[in-house]
Amino acid sequence: MWIVLTLLLMMMPITMVLLGRKLTAANIKTKERYYRTARSLRDSETARYAHKICGGFYLWMGKRLLIVTIIFGLFPLRLFLNKVEPLCGVFLLIEISMLILAVPFTESALKSKFEIG
């Protein structure tokens, strides 16, 4: 059971790494939806910068979360089998919060670089 839970917890960091690679190499003129906010779509330079920052954050955070997830899944889950579900729920909330944290981080970087309101 702990292997299945570890694999499920690894899905979010793997998604972040794959999405980060795609965002950093994204062509802005495509119709696919990536990082799109009102501030990032003012012109093509801000859109490229937003994709670069958000993709870099996803790569950076996804790699670290993947390592922590593997360590978390291999060692402590076997020791605390009766507390697996609450620990996995808390860890999943941490992963989701890191996914959402990319938006204010990217918007802050856009505001400081381009000084737009």
Summarize pLDDT for 83-112 with one digit per residue, the tens: 667 777 888 898 899 889 999 999 999 889
Q: For the chain, what is the domain count?
A: 1
In the block, tokens 């620990």 appear at 87
State the chain's mean pLDDT as an integer.
81
Structural domain including 6 reads 2-27+35-114
Task: Tell me the HSE value of 62 on the side-chain side, using a 13 A CA sphere.
Answer: 19
pTM (2 decimals)?
A: 0.81
Question: 62 pLDDT exceeds 90?
Answer: yes
* pLDDT band of 30, cuts 50, 70, 90: low
Provide the 10 A C-beta neighbour count for residue 6.
17
